Amino acid sequence: MTPHVIVVGLGFGDEGKGAVVDALCARGPVTTVVRFNGGAQAAHNVVADGRHHTFSQYGSGTLAGVPTHLSRHVLVEPVALATETRELAALGVPDPLALLTVHADALLTTPLHIAANRAREDARGDNRHGSCGKGIGETVWYSLLTGHHPGETVEHQEVLGHPGPAPTVGDCRNPTLLRRKLDTLARFYEPLIGAGTHVDDLIHLYTAFADAVRIVEGDHVGALADTGRLVFEGAQGVLLDETHGFHPHTTWSTTTPRNALDLLRGRPARVLGVTRTYHTRHGAGPFPTEDNTLPFPELHNDTGVYQGAWRTGHFDAVLFRHALACARPDALAVTHQDTPATHLATAYHSPTGPTTTLPTTDSRHLRACTPVLEPFTPDWFDHLDIPVEVTGHGPDRTAYNVRTPTPA
């Protein structure tokens, strides 16, 4: 069987992962798209057969008829999922929930997490981290608090109350347990967001959610992998990774292939790294090659209330090499090849002198770097020691070409 494919972004996100996953699924055969990180903050655009959808929690193979599995590494937001289900049904996808499975151990993102996330970001003022305001980091942070007490500091945030076990998708099948966890969660966040959230309403919503979706347990990904080819769809990009990104402008998520490889448990897979022909960043954080005069139109991204402005810049080979070292892809997908990129940064002038590598992931160091720009040639990617297996020359599925991988 053709090895499974793990799709990861090699930038700050928005590389075109959704369109690449859709192209792979349209070519087939693909049994399931597995989401392996992130949550409802994902925004993966697919344009196919006259339809456009921005995928958030459903896999980007849905318009090609491929089912989605939300793995235990995904943060699930049922209210947003219900909205996305209605949107897909309006596009003509028959019974979208029938295409979905969700692992019982996946963490729940609730309105309490979202409100806390936005309150913290609002309090930062001009020092915002660039959060999407979807509660992702807050969901992960709360899950780390077991055994901690008020006044302690966990991941640079003070524990304000008495935490309890984090609510999961599986809890939605047990209203008594769910109520206990949500009551504790609501009391915990009262010092930050007040007491305006009605837990009774959430109990009703989440038990209805459990009745509507297929919740699975155990090694569900292993069972899927043994019956057909899987495509693992990553969210965000390696340059935002919780370990390899530039703090504090990072995500509370593992954006490298690590989670997907963990789910596969040694089964063969190829890692496909996705990059544009230029770099982008949505929101705050260092961006050495940023150039707001570049004539790069953006159809599906704009300034976000919490995330901040949409930013573009020249291709950055220094950041690209850093991403390659973190993700270790077997092949590349190069998107937006219809955009006339003209220059790339081959090196930086840094506080410690000229460099072609990153000695640190400290945001302050990266902010102090200025790029050394050289002409960008259209065949630049073809001269790397890594094959280009997917190319995209526009937003529509028909603009994507998937090449047969070269045998190892």
Find tokens 């959230």 and name the residue: 197
Nearest to 82 by CA among 190, 179, 213: 213
- Who contacts 180 (Cβ-Cβ below 8 Å, separation ≥6)? 164
Exactly one of 4, 14, 69, 330 is catalytic; name it: 14
Task: Evaluate whether 366 touches 288 at the Cβ level (below 8 Å).
Answer: yes
**3 upstream amide cis, omega within 30 of 0:** no
Catalytic status, residue 95? no
Query: Does the annotation place 17 within a ligand binding site?
Result: yes
Enter the DSSP assignment of 195: S
Query: Does the annotation place 83 within a ligand binding site?
Result: no
The alpha carbons of the chain give a radius of gyration, in whole angstroms, of 21
Task: Evaluate whether 172 touches 105 at the Cβ level (below 8 Å).
Answer: no
Helix (H, G, I), strand (E, B) or coil at 240: helix
Query: Does the annotation place 13 within a ligand binding site?
Result: yes
Query: Does the annotation place 273 within a ligand binding site?
Result: no
Task: Evaluate whether 157 touches 150 at the Cβ level (below 8 Å).
Answer: no
Query: Does the annotation place 236 within a ligand binding site?
Result: yes
C-alpha distances (whole Å) from 184 to each of 114, 190, 198, 240, 313 are 16, 10, 13, 31, 45
Query: Does the annotation place 18 within a ligand binding site?
Result: yes
Q: For residues 124-133, b (16+ Cβ closer than 10 Å) or e, as one string?
A: eeeebbbbbb
Query: Does the annotation place 38 within a ligand binding site?
Result: no
Query: Does the annotation place 48 within a ligand binding site?
Result: no
- Who contacts 196 (Cβ-Cβ below 8 Å, separation ≥6)? none
Cα separation of 183 and 200, whole Å?
A: 10
Query: Does the annotation place 41 within a ligand binding site?
Result: no
Query: Does the annotation place 14 within a ligand binding site?
Result: yes
Cα separation of 230 and 84, whole Å?
A: 22
Exactly one of 4, 22, 44, 279 is catalytic; name it: 44
Nearest to 336 by CA among 384, 300, 291, 385: 300
C-alpha distances (whole Å) from 105 to each of 73, 220, 260 are 8, 12, 16
- Give the DSSP letter string of 44-107: EEEEETTEEEEESSS-TTGGGT--EEE-TTSEE-HHHHHHHHHHHHHTT-S-GGGGEEEETTSE
Enter the DSSP assignment of 377: P
Query: Does the annotation place 126 within a ligand binding site?
Result: no
Catalytic status, residue 14? yes
Query: Does the annotation place 15 within a ligand binding site?
Result: yes
Q: Residues comprising the binding site for GTP?
A: 13-19, 336-338
Question: Which residues are known catalytic residues?
Answer: 14, 44
List the binding residues: 13-19, 236, 251, 336-338
- Please give the annotated binding residues for IMP, written as ranges: 14-17, 236, 251
Q: Binding site for Mg(2+): residue ranges?
A: 14
